[in-house]
Structure 1
């Protein structure tokens, strides 16, 4: 035998005598986060909507827990999404409105996008070994700003999106891309984190014949349009849930359904007319905005509960109680980053301090009786109060344990509610609860003093240097 052949034979013999090396299976759960756009608390059949049908989301509620006190960090989309991505109140980034084209952002003292160097949820999970993907609405920049960072720069392995730079993914392709990514991860044996951020029910309302036909007998055209787009979104969510069943990974997957803010409402008796959006195309306009809050005060763009208290349904078989309603846990969008990181075993970076807290205990049925960390909000409010927009005067809000205080820009006017006992904000207690009012005002002033006066970092388009 030649020396080289003898060496190979001895090496193979040595290998055959050794125990096989088997890679450790990554048993960490998958995470699927479904984030709708303008989906009101009352816009689910399981929440009692009179005509909207959402059997797939209802299934999540039946197989999981419905957390009724969840709030997002803003009454509009971009700051709300910033909180999910960063675990911080969006005011820390001077993001208190939606990202628009550059002149509008500059006028409102906003950046042109979320700084991609920020600590972000997908990047933390990606670094811990998760496959990460984003499919659907982005709006952490804007499609009208061509030099804005792509979603891949924030920690996603794959993405298909709209309201971002580059090619705009058709809105109804979100689920099919999600399914393909999940199938790929299952083949490769990797845990996944997927954002499925659906367009519905934001304008334009992109109806298709199949779903128009479902509601053809409704007398009101706006109601029929609204019901059809929600039904379409619910079916796509159902397709993804069915994929988890087919691949036999539903028990290993945390699924959460929520919304970025409360529902939009058309003014007066406006009829739906066609409109065009540069990111998503043509569809019906605000005349078909028929979302409801199930009695909560206000709606989209307000910091009353109708604008920030949105659906939050979580399913994780064997971990999260099925068919339960949790009406006490005060969970916020800023809690998602620390919660998902604890679930995934992903470490938070040194020096990073989230505004949120991990809510794993609350999700799995052991909530704390009170929330130790207060929650804060900042938006553009209009003052004095306008009769046509009675809920949009609020510029700041704080929730601390059972109290919620809303205030105008200079804190000269405010309202106080016991949000635990009065979730519909019917009784202003500032006169009878002066001590609580003073405590919350002091905390709000202190928080306000920590906020930056202007955006910083790599957050400006070159169009600011060359205005059109």
Structure 2
């Protein structure tokens, strides 16, 4: 055999061995998808047969929480494995004056520790399709997703060209096929638009729910469309015989949006995604959890988390005990992928690689923290949006207003719906958690990194 041919055979053989030894990872991250907005979670009219399939073939974790009640901080936590407050990302990225007014940067730093970059260095083909929102399309000088460790991307809510929201699944399938041809394991963020406003409805899906009132019909139709696109990707994994070696996770960036008042159904316009129905059609539910989007009660941060990995993680199982956080995803994925973390990198989360292989969950020794811009005194129109901080330590959760003058305490093991405030019955626990929260606040930066400021700030 000629030397060149031997070399090509050797390269191909080693590439195939790499692809077979490392699991593929597909992370599906929805936008404002409430815990109760799945037929497998008992929704009265939403139908999600493809996500239900993931639950039937995988494990449904009931105690997963994201790192914020709104999108950009939640996404920053997934990317970095850090609480987003470490980057002064406490709300959604908007246009420059709004970011500056809220003490935020204009984008997540590309120099931050980044999940896709770690996986890329470990030999993975990396891609991002769908919503970005680690900056905003109204900030044209913000870094493109390609600067964050992705080999390919198509996105909206970012600088540059905006990918149409419904093209996410086809791009994902094309990238998976390309990765298989090249013999590389893949990591894909599939960050779908639904069910964020505007609601971009298609008649085909509205016809599936002819008996529903219009607002319910709109909500059910956009979720059905999203579920179909997820099904297309799952079918592609089957067709390519990649299902057995692919970890698929479905989750959401925060709880469901709800109008604070009775809103009239009307069209709205988004600069990144176009025209569609507005907030009046937001009919999401939380499975009884308190609060909605922008709240750090469980309804705002407790979201679906369904993981499927055939032969590794149990099929058809519901796990009501294991506490998993969005900051755990980076260390978990990197351990599964054999990706080395920098020696000076300290994640806020822990690795759940064992959990995602059907083994015992690790002991969580470090608390989880949240920071958001709560409204105090409490707004009667939004009674669940007063808290600015929260801490979860083992089974205890404490919420606090901005200055710490008011707090509530819940035992999530016995009271996952946060119905009974125990601060008066557990004063020592309350003070202990307030002290831990105070110590954590002191570790946070007072100002954003100026390298993450748009040049538009100089014009103001």
- Per the TM superposition, whether the score is higher than 0.5 is yes
Normalised by the length of structure 1, the TM-score is 0.95
Gaps of 5+ in 2: none
- SS of structure 2 residue aligned to 1:62: helix
- Determine which of 70, 74, 77 is the counterpart of 2:71: 77
Matched, 1:257 2:289: no
Q: How does 1:24-63 map to 2 (within 5 A)?
A: 24=14, 25-26=17-18, 27-63=21-57
- SS of structure 1 residue aligned to 2:226: helix
Structure-1 separation of matches of 2:228 and 2:80: 30
Structure-2 separation of matches of 1:370 and 1:150: 37
Of the structure 1 ranges 21-30 and 387-396, higher mean CA displacement relative to structure 2 is found in 21-30
- SS of structure 2 residue aligned to 1:66: strand
Aligned residue pairs, count: 454
Structure-1 separation of matches of 2:10 and 2:170: 37
- How far the C-alpha of 1:178 sits from its partner, in A, is 0.3
Asked whether the 8 Å contact 2:156–2:162 carries over to 1, the reply is yes
Q: Which residue of 2 aligns with 1:126?
A: 120
Matched, 1:323 2:316: yes
Q: Which residue of 1 aligns with 2:93?
A: 99
Gaps of 5+ in 1: 1-10
Structure-2 separation of matches of 1:263 and 1:245: 31
- How far the C-alpha of 1:244 sits from its partner, in A, is 0.0
- How far the C-alpha of 1:296 sits from its partner, in A, is 0.2
Q: Which residue of 2 aligns with 1:358?
A: 351
- Residues 303-356 of structure 1: CA distance to partner in whole angstroms, max 9, x if unpaired? 000000000000000101000011111000000000000000001012010001
Q: Which residue of 2 aligns with 1:165?
A: 159
Does the C-alpha gap of structure 1 residues 57 and 17 become closer, same or farther in structure 2, counting only changes over 3 Å? closer
Asked whether the 8 Å contact 1:370–1:401 carries over to 2, the reply is no
Q: How does 1:182-261 map to 2 (within 5 A)?
A: 182-218=176-212, 220-261=213-254
- How far the C-alpha of 1:269 sits from its partner, in A, is 3.0
Matched, 1:449 2:407: no
Does the C-alpha gap of structure 1 residues 247 and 103 become closer, same or farther in structure 2, counting only changes over 3 Å? same
Structure-2 separation of matches of 1:396 and 1:16: 61
Q: Which ranges of 4 or more aligned residues in structure 1 deviate by more than 3 Å?
A: 14-18, 20-23, 367-370
- How far the C-alpha of 1:438 sits from its partner, in A, is 1.3
Asked whether the 8 Å contact 2:62–2:318 carries over to 1, the reply is yes
Does the C-alpha gap of structure 1 residues 253 and 16 become closer, same or farther in structure 2, counting only changes over 3 Å? closer
Does the C-alpha gap of structure 1 residues 369 and 153 become closer, same or farther in structure 2, counting only changes over 3 Å? closer
Normalised by the length of structure 2, the TM-score is 0.97
Structure-1 separation of matches of 2:408 and 2:284: 26
Report the aligned-residue RMSD: 1.6
- How far the C-alpha of 1:439 sits from its partner, in A, is 1.1
- SS of structure 1 residue aligned to 2:79: helix
- SS of structure 2 residue aligned to 1:360: coil
Q: Which residue of 1 aligns with 2:173?
A: 179
Q: Which residue of 2 aligns with 1:410?
A: 403
- SS of structure 2 residue aligned to 1:399: strand
Structure-1 separation of matches of 2:85 and 2:46: 34
Structure-2 separation of matches of 1:145 and 1:420: 43
Structure-2 separation of matches of 1:177 and 1:460: 31
Asked whether the 8 Å contact 1:222–1:271 carries over to 2, the reply is no
- How far the C-alpha of 1:21 sits from its partner, in A, is 4.3
